[in-house]
Amino acid sequence: MKETDANKPAGIDKPPFFKSWKGMYWLVLGNLAFLITLFYIITKIYA
Amino acid sequence: MRLLDWVVLLGTLGFIVSYGVWKTRGSKDIEGYLRGDNSMKWWTIGLSIMATQASAITFLSTPGQAYEDGMRFVQFYFGLPIAMVIISVTVIPIFYRLKVYTAYEYLESRFDLKTRSLAAFLFLVQRGLAAGITIYAPAIILSTILGWNLTATNLFIGVLVIIYTVSGGTKAVSVTQKQQMAVMMGGMLVAGFMVVRYLPDNVSFGDAVAVAGKMGKMNVVDFSFDWNDRYNFWSGMTGGLFLALSYFGTDQSQVARYLGGRSVGESRLGLLFNGLLKIPMQFLILFIGVMVFVFYQFNQPPLFFNEAAKTKVYATEFAPEMEALESQHTALFNQKQEAVQGLVSALRTEDEAAISAAQSKVQGITDASKELRTEVKSLIAKATPDAETKDTDYVFISFVMKYLPAGLVGLLLAVIFSAAMSSTASELNALASTSVIDIYRRSVKPDASNMHYVKASKTFTAIWGGIAIIFATYASLLDNLIQAVNIIGSIFYGTILGIFLVAFYFKYIKGNAVFFAALIAEAIVLYCHFYTDIAFLWFNVIGCVAVIVFGLLIQFALNQMDKGKQAA
């Protein structure tokens, strides 16, 4: 029974600053890409 | 320790414990005690998640690791933000819909009781061991450096945590973790500022970073692939991702943090907050370690950072050998200081030939220093066979004790105690909720009153706290215990994650198949641990993939057998 419940849509509130949660997720992943790029540049500059 | 340090340390810890007890006082039902009445805002959840993960060892060992090995450890966290997104999308909505108290409750609704009990049991074993180590690891270092009694230090940390965790449950854990995070980050920022300030007048911040780079410490990202290399981009993005998925998605000490949120959205924001800030936080802690390394290029470091271990050698027949090594160390440092000043001057000229020559000179002396340190470690092992010859955990704390002014030493000790308390509190709270919800209420006493389960939760919190203190007290009797517990974590995490991934994404696989697949996966991981050289981070991937693959195969075989029976 509960397995079926798990597939029902939940009442999920909206995130701040973005129209949907996708925007928040892209912010986190974009931040990760930015940090890795920055760290790569730091590694190259100071090698 | 000066009076002001004691005032800062005891005042900070006393305030946090009192605030936690006062803020969460009053009688509660089980909903309030284990899920915090679902009243937590996203920033409380985010800080609580970060504080749970940041143990005292984070602040003691990480700077020492950077001192020895540079910045590359940060790559270990590259998979974490991706895991935060995956958990936000898939795991949180399911847990909220089913209104579970623990992650393992979901497994019974999806599979069966034996799979739920297996996962809960694996968690209790692994986390029960870890709780003792969370107390013991900082206690052994602080008692060695400060000359405190080890048992008293264990008791001090353990009892403080038990007081507010038993009293206020999940809410007390989360509320106190906000203050603890503020103390931790504030203290580390002050330490970072002080170490840069203590550099010689003629060495700017830019010079310090350049020197660190030329001495191989600014090695933040490495894209080369090596199965046996623990920290590179690939191991971080794969092993690190699986470890983070397992830790944040299936470990009750983290799941309880976001299950206390006001809504799905608050919980998601808390996790994403961690996804945004965790890597910069680790970068900062490692960078402080690198600055301590640069500081010690201009100020003579101890030959061995665990001074107590060195002192014991002086009480043996090996004292003259140690004295000789100390003299060589001083002579090498004098040469090195001159060479490093030469490197700073060369870097300013931007003349590649001059930089390269200065770098080679520094490198030669650094290699000689490393050899000397190896000799010291051998001598310590020979003179005092029971002594720990790894001293990286003592690098940061010995800098703090020797160079920081009165008051700041107390603050930095408060950072370490806060970190130990915050992660221990989450562990005790999670151990109690899993014991009560997944074992006691489900299989021992299913029909008791709400208040009975609150009392049971408080009792289990105190019992697990007691076990953690006892384990911490006797931990020193076992060799390489900390490393053993870290490996045990990786041995179980992959399998637990595999069970949950099957539950979420492989509807084809049912209870019996996943249960036996988990047992096979665990056997494979144990084989890898005992008979191969694969780095333990990969156990998470291997265990997880094995559960999925064998789950599919066993389910297929079971379906074929059913079809055969029906046809017969």
State the pLDDT confidence band at A7, using cuts at 50, 70 and 90.
very low
Please report the pLDDT score of residue A15 as a whole number: 85
Name which of B363, B367, B406, B373 is nearest B305 in CA terms. B373
Is residue B480 left, alpha or beta, with left meaning phi > 0 and alpha meaning psi from -120 to 50? left
* DSSP states of B330-388: HHHHHHHHHHHHHHHHHHHHT-HHHHHHHHHHHHHHHHHHHHHHHHHHHHHHHH-TTS-
Mean model confidence pLDDT for chain A: 80
- When pLDDT is averaged across residues B451-469 and rounded to a whole number, the result is 93
- When pLDDT is averaged across residues B275-284 and rounded to a whole number, the result is 95
Question: Alpha-carbon distance B345 to B341, whole Å?
Answer: 6
Question: Alpha-carbon distance B453 to B458, whole Å?
Answer: 9
Separation in Å, CA of A46 to nearest CA in chain B: 4
Contact (Cβ atoms closer than 8 angstroms) between residue B329 and residue B301: no
State the pLDDT confidence band at A6, using cuts at 50, 70 and 90.
very low
- How many CB contacts within 8 angstroms connect chain A with chain B? 93
State the pLDDT confidence band at B31, using cuts at 50, 70 and 90.
confident
Q: Any CB–CB contact under 8 A between A14 and chain B?
A: yes
Please report the pLDDT score of residue B8 as a whole number: 94
Q: Residue B520 above 60 pLDDT? A: yes
- When pLDDT is averaged across residues B431-450 and rounded to a whole number, the result is 92
Separation in Å, CA of A23 to nearest CA in chain B: 11
Of A12, A25, A42, the CB nearest to B264: A12
Two tokens, residue B59: 């602040």
Of A6, A24, A46, the CB nearest to B209: A46
- When pLDDT is averaged across residues B220-237 and rounded to a whole number, the result is 83
State the pLDDT confidence band at B27, using cuts at 50, 70 and 90.
low
Q: Note the pLDDT tens digit of each residue in B463-519.
A: 999 999 998 888 765 555 556 666 777 888 889 989 999 998 899 999 999 999 999
- When pLDDT is averaged across residues B143-160 and rounded to a whole number, the result is 89
Question: Alpha-carbon distance B262 to B252, whole Å?
Answer: 18
Whether residues A6 and B109 touch (CB distance < 8 A) is answered with yes
Angle at A42 between CA A41 and CA A46, to 5 degrees: 115
C-alpha neighbours within 13 Å on the C-beta side of residue B97: 19
Q: Residue A10 above 60 pLDDT? A: no
Q: Residue B117 above 80 pLDDT? A: yes
- When pLDDT is averaged across residues B451-461 and rounded to a whole number, the result is 93
Name the residue of chain B whose CA is nearest to A31's CA: B276
Please report the pLDDT score of residue B489 as a whole number: 78
Please report the pLDDT score of residue B481 as a whole number: 54
Whether residues B220 and A47 touch (CB distance < 8 A) is answered with no
Of A10, A29, A42, the CB nearest to B218: A42
Whether residues A28 and B276 touch (CB distance < 8 A) is answered with yes
Q: Any CB–CB contact under 8 A between A19 and chain B?
A: no
Please report the pLDDT score of residue B478 as a whole number: 57
Please report the pLDDT score of residue A36 as a whole number: 96
State the pLDDT confidence band at B60, using cuts at 50, 70 and 90.
confident
Separation in Å, CA of A27 to nearest CA in chain B: 8
Please report the pLDDT score of residue B205 as a whole number: 93
Q: Note the pLDDT tens digit of each residue in B365-405.
A: 989 999 999 999 999 988 888 777 888 888 999 999 999 99
Please report the pLDDT score of residue B403 as a whole number: 93
Please report the pLDDT score of residue A2 as a whole number: 40
Separation in Å, CA of A37 to nearest CA in chain B: 9
Contact (Cβ atoms closer than 8 angstroms) between residue B22 and residue B167: no
Q: Residue A5 above 60 pLDDT? A: no
Contact (Cβ atoms closer than 8 angstroms) between residue B547 and residue B499: yes
Whether residues B109 and A46 touch (CB distance < 8 A) is answered with no
State the pLDDT confidence band at B83, using cuts at 50, 70 and 90.
very high
Please, what's the largest Cα pairwise distance for chain B? 89
Name which of B362, B290, B297, B265 is nearest B46 in CA terms. B265
Q: Any CB–CB contact under 8 A between A46 and chain B?
A: yes
Please report the pLDDT score of residue B428 as a whole number: 93
C-alpha neighbours within 13 Å on the C-beta side of residue B102: 28
Please report the pLDDT score of residue B136 as a whole number: 87
Whether residues B218 and A43 touch (CB distance < 8 A) is answered with yes
Name the residue of chain B whose CA is nearest to A25's CA: B85
- The crossing angle, in degrees rounded to 10, of helices B537-567 and B481-505 is 40
**Share of residues in chain B with pLDDT > 90 (%):** 53
- In the three-class reduction of DSSP (H, G, I as helix; E, B as strand; rest coil), residue B261 is classed as strand
- When pLDDT is averaged across residues B444-473 and rounded to a whole number, the result is 92
Q: Please list the helix, strand and coil fractions of chain A in percent, rounded to the nearest 5, in that order.
A: 65, 0, 35
- Residue the block writes with tokens 């597939």: A7
Mean model confidence pLDDT for chain B: 89
Q: Residue B129 above 90 pLDDT? A: no
ipTM (interface predicted TM): 0.85
Please report the pLDDT score of residue B480 as a whole number: 53
Please report the pLDDT score of residue B568 as a whole number: 73
- When pLDDT is averaged across residues B73-98 and rounded to a whole number, the result is 93
Question: Alpha-carbon distance B449 to B206, whole Å?
Answer: 64
Whether residues A2 and B88 touch (CB distance < 8 A) is answered with no
C-alpha neighbours within 13 Å on the C-beta side of residue B422: 34
Contact (Cβ atoms closer than 8 angstroms) between residue B219 and residue B65: no
- The crossing angle, in degrees rounded to 10, of helices B150-197 and B252-259 is 70
Task: Find the range with the poorest average confidence among A13-17, B194-198, B502-506.
Answer: A13-17
The H-or-E segment that residue B395 falls in is helix B395-403
Task: Find the range with the poorest average confidence among B87-96, B133-142, B406-415, B507-516.
Answer: B133-142
Contacts of B272 in chain A (CB under 8 A): 24-25, 27-28
* DSSP states of B273-328: HHHHHHHHHHHHHHHHHHHHHHHHHHSPPPSSS-HHHHHHHHTSTTHHHHHHHHHH
Please count the other Cβ atoms lying within 10 Å of the Cβ belonging to residue B14.
11
Whether residues A15 and B269 touch (CB distance < 8 A) is answered with yes
Question: Alpha-carbon distance B393 to B309, whole Å?
Answer: 13
Contact (Cβ atoms closer than 8 angstroms) between residue B187 and residue B412: yes
Phi, psi torsion values for B449, nearest 5 degrees? -75, 165
